[in-house]
Structure 1
Amino acid sequence: MKPNILVCGKTGVGKTSLIQAMTHAGTVPDDAIGDARPTTEGFDLYQTEVVNFIDCEGMEPGKVHATPDDATSSDQNPIESYLNLLMSEVVRRLDSNDAEQCIHLVWYCLSGSDARVQPADARMIEAFRDRVLVIVTKVDLMRRNHIEDFQKALFDLVSPDQIVMISSHQKNGLDKLLSKTLALAKPAIAEAGQEVAEFNERWQQYYVNMRDAWKRRTESEAASIIQWAAGRAAAIAAVPLPLADVGPLVANEIYMIHKLGNVYGFAVNETIITMLLGCLGGSAAGKLAASFLPFLKIPIAAGVTYGVGKAAKAYFESDMTLDAAALKKKFLEGEQEAKSQNWKKAISSDRLEEAEE
């Protein structure tokens, strides 16, 4: 038996691209990717050795989605018509009385490039609350001023454990999505009387090479985020006005932690932010309060931010299990490592990037 995953969401959020990223080459042809244009009509089935993906057509504004039995009324609410389309597939498979045909899990995809979670998204997520993984795609396109509010809106709908932040293009968060999907698939396998250990082995074999590649890309992306944030902290600290850098430095660290969490597939809430900054002895802003001299502030700001980034990276790599002592050690190692870097050069690069923006 293989779990069946229903993949749904609005047109253009990257549903088919995600399936392609989660399967071996050739499973999903390139011409199935719509580049924000609708290409899937009804449902497309993509099968692998370990899982089946049922790719649903995208929800479109104003469109009334027809069910296979043509029972949809032309004056029906478009959102409800899309939900009816999804439910019709769930019921059709359930009526087959074949456990291998049933929908075991729903991936609801929404784009991180949107400014907020829309009512249509909330309706779909609530409908499948117990069996849904909410996948925020294109997290690399999330705007800095939207990221916290976007994630808070999702926390009101589902548990953080049901949210995965991914970028199919950059391969970020896919390993976390894989782990959460496997955890939810195992009970279905057991209920069907199948051998979970055997299924788990087949699953791991199918994804072993892909996971290695994802890990390398994720580590590289995380390192780039830390370097960027530390360089930005150095630029902020170069401001000659006393205490003018406090707010921006804190915001910079919080944004860095959000971005690092997203790279590893986690939606980061205030509890995680507070815990990380708290157990690491506060932020760069606190250490800078004792110094008003730019030539002292710059390496302090960069070093502390770099250390916080290294600790946060280790925390997310550990699946958020690293204890306070281990986090503190990672922070101090990072802070020490930062001393060997030329942060004045980083300031120039950061200001150049801001000018280009």
Structure 2
Amino acid sequence: MYTTQQEQLSHERDAIEEAIRNAIKGAGKVNILVAGKTGVGKSTLINTVFRGDLAETGSGRPVTQNTQEITKPGHPLTILDTKGLELKDFAEINETLEKELRDRAADFDGERHIHAAWVCIHEDGRRVEEAEINLCNLLGSYKVPVIVVITKARNDQNFSKEVRDVIKQACEVVRVRAVTEEIEVDEERILLPVKGIDDLIAATAKYIPEAQQRAYANALSSKNLEGLKQKKKQAEREVNMAAGLAGTAAAVPIPFSDAFALVPIQVGMLTKIGITYGMEVSTAAITTMVGSIIGSSAATLIGRAFVTNALKLIPGVGSAAGGALAATTAVALTKALGAAYIAVLHDFCEQKPGAELDIELITSELKRRMKFS
């Protein structure tokens, strides 16, 4: 039974929309617990590392007596902001927090787990409190990776070594200064630049599960070099996975099968890369972006697939030869499209660090680089 051209186009549109929906569903979520005394600089740190000023504009929801869940629509990051480490009734707070940890750890949904914890300690205090040690021990007992963040770092004086010695559960100890500070030394004003943020991003990435890596990359601000590095690394993974799928689909010995199969694979790849680079996880925004790109490129991609499929129909040449060439072409096309998209997004982020992605500008530049008419 033959299908009309209109039916075929409708089928392709449905496949593309499904590919976008599946990529968005697979974007994942990452949860990071941030704890520390009042005034330790948690909000500043969160807003420096992650995009979207979560600590200021995110909606907070109480989850325990002294823990707030901070998130915002379209953002795959949830911050669990734990306060009150300096309070005398920490034992009670500890009990409610332990219940939250226990419930999340037992949940079959990995997106509810706490994937890492930052326990923040002010460097000027030069002291590790018992509450901070107890919290780290509690987190460690639930296998939450603990990163001790020494905030407002100015002069170590071996304090970081003391922290490592005292807090045995710490996977990493990182000294940071989240904003530029001005201090006076001998009546001279000295600027202390931002420090340690890239180290913190890299240290945290080591402990984020594979399933949450795309969400973590999405959440990072592009104004940090390590944030951009993490985005590019994850985006390149997406390209390699898509290229493998494209090669497999194109090698199927059924005439013209890959022409239809390739586009949804590449649409899914574009969607995942866009999410990785910080695009809001929104069906409408991503559909607009992908539709604009693929609208210009689909004819070219399917046209090239048609040429290789024609070999499958030639007696004597056989489907194996046609399939091999189709697979090589499909992999090359997918990698070229993915590499070009990463390059455009990376250039945009480098030129406009921390800015929201300009879909129209990015789409236009990608079309220019790929020479789609």
What TM-score comes out, normalization by structure 2 length?
0.42
TM-score, normalised by the number of residues in structure 1: 0.43
Q: Normalized per residue, which structure has more strand? A: 2
The higher-RCO structure (CA 8 Å, 6+ apart) is: 2
Whichever of the two has the greater Rg, that structure is 2
